[in-house]
Each structure stands twice: as structure tokens, then as C-alpha cells.
């Protein structure tokens, strides 16, 4: 009789442990992609500056311009579908600085790339930074928000996230 009671307790304990390890936790762990953002601000090279049109500016030089390169990576996307990423409108942010009548966003480009289990979004643009400090540039980049949304493939649950775009900003000198 003791052996049967011990066997029943053992079986219940095993079921309890297996129940705690349900597949719901696995789906939840895979439903949120890991997000990383890296932003680098650096002066233009001579070659890059030679390709910048400076009409309308008086006595501009290479030191008056910087390139901003942002990389946003979503990892763990194999379990997701309908991934939407809305990146900040940097042109609007830099061209509408309070008490600044200067056009700051000169030109830019971007690319979106899907790879195995990750999506990579890059943006690169040239800024006219004469009269701006690194602190002001960082404040504008940090204030911007990235909005993401997706659907979990297994459960069809919709989810979304919003985070600061300027989390990791580095300034490089040449």
C-alpha cells in the first residue's frame, strides 16, 4: 500500500513539474524579439564632402557636416509574421529645431534586410551641423521613438513595442 501511495505522489509530482514547463512559456519567450540599436555620428571624409552640394551656404567646410548611421536589429523573428517597424522621421526632427531657421537634414538613405531569425534596418543621413553641439544632436536622436509591431505565428497574438531610437549613440572623430 505504501508503494502505491508513493507511486501516486511521484506521478503527481512529475505531472506538476511537466505542467510548469508547458509550451505556453516557450511561445511567450519567442514572441518578443530582442532589439538592439546602434547610432554613430561622425565627420564626413573628403570624398563624402566632395559629393555634398553646399549651395545656399556661405563659407561651408567639411567640419560643418556629419554622417549619422543608425542600425536597428530585431533578433528572434522566426516565430513572428507581419513585422512592422516605424523608424523616426529624422528629416522632420532636425529641420524643425526650435529657434533654428537652418535646414539641417541634407540627404539620406535606408535599407531593410531580412535574414535568418533577424531583421536589420539601417538609415544613414548627412546633417549640416554648424552651430550644433554634440549634446544637441544626441538630444534630438534620443528623443525619437521606434515603433514596432508583429504577430506571433503560433497563436496569432498581436504585440507591439516602442523604445528610444538613440539608446547607443557614439560620436567619432576623424
Q: Is the pTM value of this prediction over 0.85?
A: no
Whole-number pLDDT of residue 3 = 64
Q: How confident is the model over 70-88, as pLDDT tens digits? A: 999 999 999 999 999 998 8
Q: How many domains does the chain have?
A: 2
Whole-number pLDDT of residue 7 = 53
Based on the fold, state whether residues 24 and 36 are members of the same structural domain. no
Q: How confident is the model over 130-142, as pLDDT tens digits? A: 989 999 999 988 8
Please report which confidence band the pLDDT of residue 57 belongs to, taking 50, 70 and 90 as the band edges. confident
Residue corresponding to grid cell 532636425: 94
Residue corresponding to grid cell 505556453: 24
Based on the fold, state whether residues 17 and 79 are members of the same structural domain. no
Based on the fold, state whether residues 27 and 104 are members of the same structural domain. no
Q: Are 117 and 78 in contact (CB under 8 A)?
A: yes
- Structural domain including 153 reads 32-171
Strand partners, 145: 164
Question: Cα separation of 74 and 152, whole Å?
Answer: 14
Based on the fold, state whether residues 78 and 2 are members of the same structural domain. no
Question: Cα separation of 57 and 64, whole Å?
Answer: 10
Based on the fold, state whether residues 81 and 96 are members of the same structural domain. yes
Based on the fold, state whether residues 19 and 42 are members of the same structural domain. no
Q: How confident is the model over 87-121, as pLDDT tens digits? A: 889 899 889 888 888 888 899 999 999 998 999 99
Please report which confidence band the pLDDT of residue 29 belongs to, taking 50, 70 and 90 as the band edges. very low
First to last CA, the chain: 82
**68 pLDDT more than 90:** yes
Amino acid at each position: 500500500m505504501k508503494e502505491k501511495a508513493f507511486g501516486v505522489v511521484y506521478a503527481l509530482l512529475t505531472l506538476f513539474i511537466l505542467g510548469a514547463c508547458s509550451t505556453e512559456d516557450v511561445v511567450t519567450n519567442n514572441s518578443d524579439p530582442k532589439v538592439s540599436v546602434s547610432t554613430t555620428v561622425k565627420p564626413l571624409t573628403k570624398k563624402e564632402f566632395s559629393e555634398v552640394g553646399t549651395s545656399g551656404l556661405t563659407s561651408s567646410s567639411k567640419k560643418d557636416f556629419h554622417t549619422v548611421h543608425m542600425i536597428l536589429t530585431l533578433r528572434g523573428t522566426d516565430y513572428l509574421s507581419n513585422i512592422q517597424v516605424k523608424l523616426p522621421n529624422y528629416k522632420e526632427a532636425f529641420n524643425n529645431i526650435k529657434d533654428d531657421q537652418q535646414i539641417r537634414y541634407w540627404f539620406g538613405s535606408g535599407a531593410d534586410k531580412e535574414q535568418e531569425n533577424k531583421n536589420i534596418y539601417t538609415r544613414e543621413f548627412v546633417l549640416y551641423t554648424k552651430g550644433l553641439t554634440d549634446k544637441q544632436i544626441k538630444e534630438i536622436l534620443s528623443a525619437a521613438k521606434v515603433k514596432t509591431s508583429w504577430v506571433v505565428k503560433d497563436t496569432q497574438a498581436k504585440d507591439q513595442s516602442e523604445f528610444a531610437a538613440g539608446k547607443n549613440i557614439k560620436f567619432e572623430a576623424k
